[in-house]
Each structure stands twice: as structure tokens, then as C-alpha cells.
Amino acid sequence: MESMTSIERVQNLLRRQPVDRIAVHEHFWGDTIKDWCAQGHIQPGESLEDHFGYDFQCAGPLNMVADLDFEPEVVEENEETMLVRDGNGALLRRYKTHDTTPEHVDFRVQDRAGWEEYIKPYLKPEHRRIDFEAYRQARDAARAKDRFFTCYAVNVFELMHPVCGHEYMLMGMAMDPDWIKDMVATYAQLTIDLMEILFSEVGYPDGIWFFDDMGFKQRPFFSLDMYREIIQPGHKLTIDYAHSKNIQVIMHSCGYIAPLVPGLLEAGIDCLQVIEVKAGMDLIELYKQYGDRLSFFGGMDVRTLYTNDKAIIDRELERKIPIVKGNYGYLLHSDHSIPNQVAYENYRYFVERGLELGSYRNGD
Amino acid sequence: MADNDILARIALCTERGKINNAAPYPPDLKGEDGVDELTEKALNDGVDPNDILTQGFMEGMGRVGKKFSKNEVFVPDLLMAAKAMTAGMIRLKPHFESGAAKHKGTFVIGTVRGDLHDIGKNLVRMMVEGGGWQVIDLGVDTSPEKFVEAVKEHPGCAVGLSALLTTTMVNMEETVKAIKAVSPSTPVIVGGAPLTQEFCDKIGADAYSADPQGALDYLADYTAA
């Protein structure tokens, strides 16, 4: 097959149609890139898309914090951490020294009354929620290199927990499901309204990459029934909007979400990302069950990369890629993101060897 | 209501997450007494607080924990069960303080240094509490020194270490070594998304558990040994 542009390649992979090779993209912990810059492998500010030859260019232009005028307030600070109250009314502790997700200390919203008083009135589709310029620049860069351009957006489950925390949200799903359904509907509509403003003004993306972490080790946070009743309506609304504009949808979720895949398919996703092996996700099993209806992006165990042993990396790639590329629906990515224990040359090797195995040029 | 009936009812309400009469959850028990009222009634009727703990709360939490392990129920169910149990535990607290009710042991738990993620730790804490243990929760980002201090303060305790990230699980080894240096017989259980039995063996921990029920089962075996 002739060489394809990244846009052609990814579009076909998301429809499971013939391509020249699998596509590639990656996410990194901030410290990894810092270290690789310090080691001289990457120049500060250099495009990772150019450096590693990625098929994607992405922008995350939407600000979904409730109160945009609220100046984050430092409640407590020591040498290592800062405790900050944010515009969602959440009290979060973050490290100053390195990159990680914050500790959820307290939430102003603990029930429906808190949601209706502190958050819902603020969630309006205002222009100032959108970084038009970042989106425009990323889109232009993608177009210049024929890369597949995706708009990152957080979907409903991930939008709710910064407001009320996992525990209140999950208890709310049991105790007051109508409250959670109201949050789901509000955030889904706000997402669509903001996208419509942005896309009609600057131009449409090729894909939307939704982020919605719905699982942890060996289980989803909720049952498939609960997903269908409470979360799926929000997914369906946002995915239907994308499809109505001929935009393909990638859904990211960390954790073990295999039991939710039938529901995600009903919601209309085109591709599942990130397929976290250490949480129990099994790429080959998913491919066998759903490979005719769904594309897969990720699922390469990052723990094999930080062994920094090429033979182990080879085994992981060779065990999976020849199988999962079968339906022209596989895109290369680790099963989460690359930590700084991974040596630059070994990551580079992972990409090169993965793409070699993912080539269709020799009739593979 | 006979003792056995009320204990069975407390176990059921714990398992189903029925906190009190006013709670709308679960819908099929709406308007009925929950763990709070039933525990008060049992105590007023002279039921032994230890029976309320073991045949009521522990029985109910044990059932929900086993279902959770088999993916028959999920986090919302577990959280509701723990909330119901907490309502009953508040009623039992004076009896623990007076010595009329006894914990199975003390379990010290925390996420290791550098790790701020506490959902997994909190689920284990709830299940172990529901298993009749006194839990000392050291919170998140806990230094080895803080674990050692807690081990010294609670002789005979067991310890649980949690980490969510590949970047922080490496700090477990240092913590295990520090605990074993002051108290070699203290059992240390490790858990968290990136962990494996192999990693547990490598760092010298005593047990790895993939889920909260596994931690509780290990503690039960440990106390029985």
C-alpha cells in the first residue's frame, strides 16, 4: 500500500479500514520530558509530534471550572505541597516539586443542594471558557503536517468528581441518582455548546478525544446498569453531537472498564483508549470480543518499558501487535503514560519496533 | 424481635447500605429502620455489643466485600454499606471504650510517601473496619518514619501500604525496610494499581492484595495462625 498521511491513516484506523501502518501517539509525565530535555535528547519547546513522528496533534481548549472569576486560594503551604481551594470549591493538595494528580481533601459540594447553589449557576457557555488561540495554533500545525487533529475534552464523569469528589459522587449515584443525572446532563450540554461556539468560529477537528476515567484496579467504579442509567446519556449526547458533525470519537479511560465496553459501544465510541494493563485490561481479549466494531489505542504495558530491557519490550510488542492489527483498528500508545524511569532510547525503540510490527506494507 | 432476628436485620441493612429510617436508599427498604435504629434497639434490648459487631456489622460487610471481589456490586454499594456500618459503630463506640466490645486487632494504613491518591486506601480501610479491626489511618503521602512511629505506638498491629502510581510504588520498599527494622514480626500488606505479587516479594512485604477483601482475608488468616 502507498504511504498515507496521518489524517488518512487515523481516519481509516478509526473505521477499521486498510492502512499502510498502525498510527502512534503518546502521553508523558511532565518530569519525563524535563529529564529528557536535561539529558539533551529533546530541545526545550521542541514539538514532540515532530520529534517522535506522531500521527496526532491535539489541543485542550475548554475550561470547565465552575467559577472562572475565583482566584485559587492557598490555604496552607509547606516546602513540598500546597493546599489550594479552587473555582470548583474543592480543596486540593498538590506537590510543588513534581508532577502528579492532587489529593482531594474536601469539597464544598456534597449533595444536590451544594451543586445547585455553588456550581450549576456558573456553568454557562461563555466565550472566555475557550482558548481559541491554542486551538487555532494546534489546528494549523496539524494541517501543515497533515496530522489528525483532535480536540481534547473531559467528559461527564471526570467533570463531576472535581466538584464533589469520587466518594460523594459515587454515593450520590446510589442515594440520589437524579442529582447525578442533572450534573451529567448539565456538563454534557455545556461541552456541546462550547464546542459548537469554538468549531463554528475556528473550524472543526478531525476527532474528539474524550477523557473519562471510569475504572480502577480490576473493576469499574460502577456497574454497567448504573453506567447505562446515569452516565451513558451524557456520553451519548456528546458523541452524537460529534458524529453529527462527522467527527470521530476516541474515549479514554484509565482503570479496568471491560464490563462497561458494551455500554460505551451503545453510546457510539469509535475507539477505546488507553487500555490499562496493570488495572486488568486485556487488549487481546478486547480485540477478540469487539475488534470488528471498535478500534483500540494503547494497551502496551508501560511496566515493560521501565524495565529498560529491549528484549522485554520486544516480547510485549510482538505478543500483541501482530494480533490486534488484524482488523486495521489498532493505534500504538502505552497503557497510560511514560514515567521518567523510562530511558529515552528505550522509548524510541518502543516506537520504532512497534511501527515496524504495525506495518502492512509487506502484505502483513 | 429475637436477638438473632435483629442481628440478621443489622447484617442485612449493613450489606444493603440502609443507614437509618429517613434514608431513601436502597429504594426497596424505604421507610424501614436502618442500622442506626436497629443498633440502638439491640443495645437497649441487652444484645451483647460483640454480637452486634460480629453477627451484624462484620457479617454484612463480609457479604458486600465478597460480592465486591466478584464484581457483583461496585464502589457505590461498598460506600453505602460502610456509611451504614459507621452509623452503627457510633452507637457501639462507648462499648469499645468501656471494654465491653473488642476489636480483632489494630491495622495501620496509609499511602506511601509521594502518593496523594486515597480512594483505594479508603476502600481497604472501610472493609477492614467492617471486619472488626481498629484502623489507624495515617492518610496520604506518609513517610516511613510516620509508619514506624505508628507501629511503635500500636504493638502487635498489622500495616497496610497503598500506592497508585508506578512513580510512587518504589517508595514502598523503603517503608517496608523501616518497619521491619524496628519490628520484624509486624505483617505488612501492600496494594495498589501497579503492584504485583512479584513486586511484593521483591520488597520484602508479607502479602499483596488485589482488593479490599483480600486484605481482610489475609488479616483473618494472620490472626487465626
What is the ipTM score, two decimals? 0.86
Q: Which of B65, B98, B131 is the last residue of a domain?
A: B98
Q: Residue B114 belongs to a domain with what CATH number?
A: 3.40.50.280
Mean pLDDT (chain A, rounded):
95
Q: Tell if the CB–CB gap between B166 and A170 is shorter than 8 Å.
A: no
Q: Tell if the CB–CB gap between A217 and B80 is shorter than 8 Å.
A: no
B121 and B196 housed in the same domain: yes
pLDDT at A102: 80
pLDDT at B211: 86
Q: Tell if the CB–CB gap between B167 and A100 is shorter than 8 Å.
A: yes
- Angle ∠(A148,A18,A363) on CA atoms, nearest 5: 125
**What are the pLDDT digits (tens) for A148-178?**
999 999 999 999 999 999 989 999 999 999 9
Candidate from B74, B193, B194 with C-beta closest to A221: B74
Architecture of domain A6-64+123-357: Alpha-Beta Barrel (3.20)
B110 and B90 housed in the same domain: no
pLDDT at residue B101 is higher than 90: no
pLDDT (average), residues B41-49: 96
| B143 class by beta-carbon count within 10 Å (0-12 exposed, 13-18 middle, 19+ buried) | middle
B82 and B146 housed in the same domain: no
- Residue A359 C-alpha, separation from nearest chain B C-alpha, in angstroms: 31
The reply to whether B8 touches chain A by the CB within 8 Å rule is no
pLDDT at A99: 65
B119 — pLDDT class (breaks 50, 70, 90): confident
Mean pLDDT (chain B, rounded):
92
φ/ψ of A52, rounded to 5, equals -100, 0
pLDDT at residue A362 is higher than 80: no
B116 and B153 housed in the same domain: yes
| Residue B65 near residue B127, CB atoms below 8 Å | yes
Q: Which of B98, B133, B163 is the last residue of a domain?
A: B98
pLDDT at residue A312 is higher than 60: yes
- Residue B208 C-alpha, separation from nearest chain A C-alpha, in angstroms: 13
B121 and B156 housed in the same domain: yes
pLDDT at B222: 87
Q: Residue B17 belongs to a domain with what CATH number?
A: 1.10.1240.10
A278 neighbourhood in chain B, CB within 8 Å: 166, 193-194
The reply to whether B130 touches chain A by the CB within 8 Å rule is no
For an interface test with B, which of A173, A178, A306 has the most B Cβ atoms less than 10 Å from its Cβ?
Answer: A173
B83 neighbourhood in chain A, CB within 8 Å: 171
Q: What is the value of pTM for the model shown?
A: 0.89
Domain boundaries defined on chain A: 6-64+123-357, 68-108
- Residue A210 C-alpha, separation from nearest chain B C-alpha, in angstroms: 22
B141 — pLDDT class (breaks 50, 70, 90): confident
pLDDT (average), residues B42-55: 95
pLDDT (average), residues A200-215: 97
Q: Tell if the CB–CB gap between B193 and A217 is shorter than 8 Å.
A: yes
Q: Tell if the CB–CB gap between A101 and B117 is shorter than 8 Å.
A: yes
Q: Angle B3-16/B35-44 helices, nearest 10 degrees?
A: 160
pLDDT (average), residues A102-109: 87
- Residue A364 C-alpha, separation from nearest chain B C-alpha, in angstroms: 34
B15 — pLDDT class (breaks 50, 70, 90): very high
B112 and B198 housed in the same domain: yes
pLDDT at residue A234 is higher than 70: yes
- Residue B193 C-alpha, separation from nearest chain A C-alpha, in angstroms: 5
φ/ψ of A152, rounded to 5, equals -75, 140
- Count of structural domains, chain B: 2
For an interface test with A, which of B79, B126, B211 has the most A Cβ atoms less than 10 Å from its Cβ?
Answer: B79
pLDDT (average), residues B185-199: 91
Q: Which of B50, B80, B98 is the last residue of a domain?
A: B98
The rounded percent of chain A whose pLDDT value lies above 90 is 90
pLDDT at B53: 92
pLDDT (average), residues B163-191: 91
Candidate from B24, B68, B116 with C-beta closest to A100: B116
B186 and B214 housed in the same domain: yes
B122 neighbourhood in chain A, CB within 8 Å: 167
Range of the domain at B31: 3-98
B135 and B218 housed in the same domain: yes
3-state secondary structure chain A: CCCCCHHHHHHHHHHCCCCCECEECCCECHHHHHHHHHCCCCCCCCCHHHHHCCCEEEECCECCCCCCCCCCEEEEECCCEEEEECCCCEEEEEECCCCCCCEEEEECCCCHHHHHHHHHHHCCCCHHHECHHHHHHHHHHHHHCCCEEEEEEECHHHHHHHHHHHHHHHHHHHHCHHHHHHHHHHHHHHHHHHHHHHHHHHCCCCEEEEECCCEECCEECCCHHHHHHHHHHHHHHHHHHHHHCCCEEEEEECCCCHHHHHHHHHHCCCEEEECCHHHCCCHHHHHHHHCCCCEEEECECHHHHCCCCHHHHHHHHHHHHHHHCCCCCEEECECCCECCCCCHHHHHHHHHHHHHHCECCCCC
B163 neighbourhood in chain A, CB within 8 Å: none
pLDDT (average), residues A330-343: 96
Q: Tell if the CB–CB gap between A217 and B118 is shorter than 8 Å.
A: no
pLDDT at A363: 60
- Which grid coordinates are listed for A160? 463531576
| Residue A58 near residue A152, CB atoms below 8 Å | yes
Q: Rg of the Cα trace of chain B?
A: 18
A29 neighbourhood in chain B, CB within 8 Å: 167
Minimum CA–CA partner of B68 in chain A: A219
Which residues lie closer than 8 Å to A239 by C-beta, 6 or more apart?
Answer: A210, A249, A267, A268, A269
Q: Of A79-83, A153-157, A255-259, which range is least confident?
A: A79-83
pLDDT (average), residues B128-146: 92
The reply to whether A218 touches chain B by the CB within 8 Å rule is yes
Window 111-130 of A: residues touching B by CB (8 A cutoff) are none
B93 and B118 housed in the same domain: no
pLDDT at A108: 94
